[in-house]
Structure 1
């Protein structure tokens, strides 16, 4: 989600048009989506630790590779393909199976707390990257971040991650593990496709903002620090709002919380693109941050509620594939529409419409009694 501050420096340094770089990011999102079911499968077959270690190694190699190339195809393979696989392997799809199996009564809250890590990343790293890139360049900043990531991620993967949850799981969780439903049966059900459309929309909007939010605000007259701080504020607020939303999702119908998240986001995208003052920007970011996290967490919780947790890793990976297809389209459309029409209203307006449709569709998910 920090691509926005890297976007213009990379494009200018490597002499890429916005469309060209957006295409690399868009295809990268597709590869990230393809990697997610693979990650879910590997977690079920081996362990979360194995997938995290593999993903960390891929991230180190791909970032060093990307920082030392200057051609389109080398950057596409390193940054667009390899790094996308690495980040997917250390993403939420690898953690979701552990969380939904360990937690039942407070599953929604647990998943929301998990998602707060991403929000913290947005809030902390966007301003940090915005500060370091002008001083040291995007290449040094990228490699430095990957080394810091390695120092944090490897000990966590080795010493903390434990998949031996079944022995200590509650009776309810053990019964849920025994639910026997096949992927073929799931694909024939309406809730799966409603959740997939919602995550497609989530990916479209989040990565449109992550990739083109900062350039859009700069084009609209804001300076780079104000732009990155405004987008970062969304993540900062979301760190705390996730706890509230997670608590609420374990009390009221989760589908209603999901619909509310999509509704407020849809209105927020239009507001963001027409913001003209610093305080308008910060006010919109403040409201947007209240509902920025949660779609992925709620979709995983609803999926586990409906289909059980036995194949939740694979199902999460498949629905996240829809998320990344949306991310691909959003990242590409943001650059293509601007290059051709010199406006951000097309891409951000499309995100708003899709989010409002997702809010409407979420109301038709099954009614589930939270235990």
Structure 2
């Protein structure tokens, strides 16, 4: 059956289900921000020790990505997503029983890290590449914005639970949410590819060439994609820029903004509300970024995004002095920019390596993002422990973002101009 004969394409059901998976995974990943202070109070662990467990989570989340993309190509999105949700469920449940730092490292660091790595931006990129030919930037923007929406949905409730019911009640809520989403995946994510149900991707014409099914060992496929991409300078610029993106979002602000607010006498629920504000505005900013990525030069968009982020971080130390006006202004600016970098980065990845390898190579770039996130979380926690303040962490991160804004303008320079990639055909 030709997709043109269907008024409603099932790609939208697949995208909506994926959105829910990403929301739930984002809520799980955002949770450490409200757990640092209660873990510190109950067990006497330093923020550097707690940040180490979070760092393992963030790094594994990234490193799993490229292998997850290859696994989805080989064994299917549905199976991979179900396994990811089960790993997160077991890890979160185990985290409620921790007594020693190594247990936090295993439960939240390893199990949740591997699970969330299989239900992350790479999942969104794979869905977009398989199910959509038209509106790719917009759909990727919406799926990416689910990370912010996850914060919006979960963080205020999680902070309230920590304050009124204790931090272990948070794990109960997350386990229930993961269980519900698992059932939805079983019921709604029935096909791995539109061709499995006799359809073309949304917006694709019957004459459009389609890449052949991927065969082979997922580990080998991921390594081969990396080996090929590593010969391109633009891949390393994209990976380096995403390292900075991760260090300054999930790693720094996502992990340490709530405890930093606590240092300035701001209650956890109110501090979590700031992250929720970021979630609201990132939903707008990242969706708009996807729309813009379909129409404008992705390099110039990244220049603006990293520049605004850097200036916002340089402003943050002064913002703590005015929690009524200045901190909400920071939250709005940072929220609009939180992960607006994803749609143009994915577009540049497709233009650099081609349609076929883009999800796996983007997985490697996301790995750089999460290694950066781990670096940001650990270094900020260490600086806070050493100097009893986060000021140096905010300022150094702001300077790094400004430098990155300049760096991304060099993508594509000195080589043939970047052109839209074609399915299954790498751009020379």
Query: Smaller-chain TM-score range?
Result: over 0.9
User: TM-score scaled by structure 1?
Assistant: 0.93
Query: Which structure has the highest helix share of the two?
Result: 1
The residue that corresponds to 2:45 in the other structure is: 16
Whether 1:204 and 2:247 are equivalent positions in the alignment is: yes
1:214 aligns with 2:246: no
Structure 1 equivalent of residue 377 of structure 2: 331
- Superposed CA deviations along residues 169-209 of structure 1, whole A, max 9, x for unmatched, are 3259954737x995423111111011101110011011211
1:168 and 2:200 correspond = yes
The yes-or-no answer on 1:36 pairing with 2:65 is yes
Higher relative contact order (CA 8 A, sep 6+): 1
CA contact (8 A) 1:176 1:308 kept: no
* 1:189 equivalent in alignment to 2:232: yes
Q: Is the 8 A contact 2:235 2:349 kept in 1?
A: yes
Contact 1:98/1:165, CA 8 A, preserved across alignment: no
Instruction: Report the more deviating stretch, 8-17 or 191-200.
Output: 8-17
1:312, distance to aligned residue in structure 2 (A): 2.2
2:121–2:366 Cα contact (<8 Å) kept: no
CA shift at 1:74, angstroms?
A: 1.6
Q: Displacement of 1:158 after TM fit?
A: 4.1
- Contact 2:92–2:174 (8 Å) recurs in 1: no
> Does residue 159 of structure 1 match 2:181?
no
- Work out whether 1:364 is the aligned partner of 2:410: yes
> Structure 1 residue 84: deviation in Å?
0.5
The answer to whether the 8 Å contact 2:289/2:343 transfers is: no
Identify which range, 65-74 or 187-196, moves more after superposition. 65-74
Check conservation: 1:29, 1:327, Cα contact below 8 A: yes
- Residues 128-179 of structure 1 show CA distances to partners (whole Å, capped at 9, x for unaligned) of 111111222111211221221220243135423532235503259954737x
- CA distance in 2 between counterparts of 1:299 and 1:143 reads 36
Once the two structures are TM-superposed, the CA of residue 369 in structure 1 deviates from its matched residue by 5.2
Query: Residues 81-100 of structure 1 correspond to what in structure 2 (within 5 A)?
Result: 81-100=110-129
SS of corresponding position for 2:262: helix
Deviation at 1:272, TM superposition (A): 2.0
Give the stretch that moved more between structures: 344-353 or 97-106.
97-106
Q: Which residue of 201, 211, 216 maps to 1:177?
A: 211
The 3 A distance-change label for structure 1 pair 219 and 31 is same
Counterparts in 2 of 1:20 and 1:137: CA distance versus 1, 3 Å: same
Residue segments in structure 1 that go unaligned for 5+ positions in a row: none
Question: 1:301 is matched with which residue: 347, 355, 380?
Answer: 347
After TM superposition, give the deviation of residue 47 of structure 1 in Å.
Answer: 0.9
**1:257-285 CA distance string (max 9 Å, x none):** 11211111111112223211121111121
Stretches of 4+ moved more than 6 A in 1?
none
Higher mean C-alpha displacement, 46-55 vs 288-297 = 288-297
- Contact between 1:238 and 1:289, CA under 8 Å: does it hold in 2? yes
Summarize the Cα distance change of 1:285–1:173 in structure 2 as closer, same or farther, 3 Å threshold: farther
Which of residues 139, 163, 181 in structure 1 aligns to 2:168?
139
The answer as to whether partners of 1:214 and 1:224 remain within 8 angstroms in 2 is yes
Compute the displacement of 1:40 (Å). Answer: 1.2
Q: Larger radius of gyration, structure 1 or 2? A: 2
Residue correspondence of structure 1 range 39-78 to structure 2 within 5 A: 39-78=68-107
Contact 2:48–2:378, Cα closer than 8 Å, also in 1 = yes
Question: How many pairs are equivalent?
Answer: 370
CA separation in 1, counterparts of 2:118 and 2:287?
25
1:303-354 CA deviation, whole Å, 9 max, x = no partner? 1122222122321221111111101110001110011111212211221122
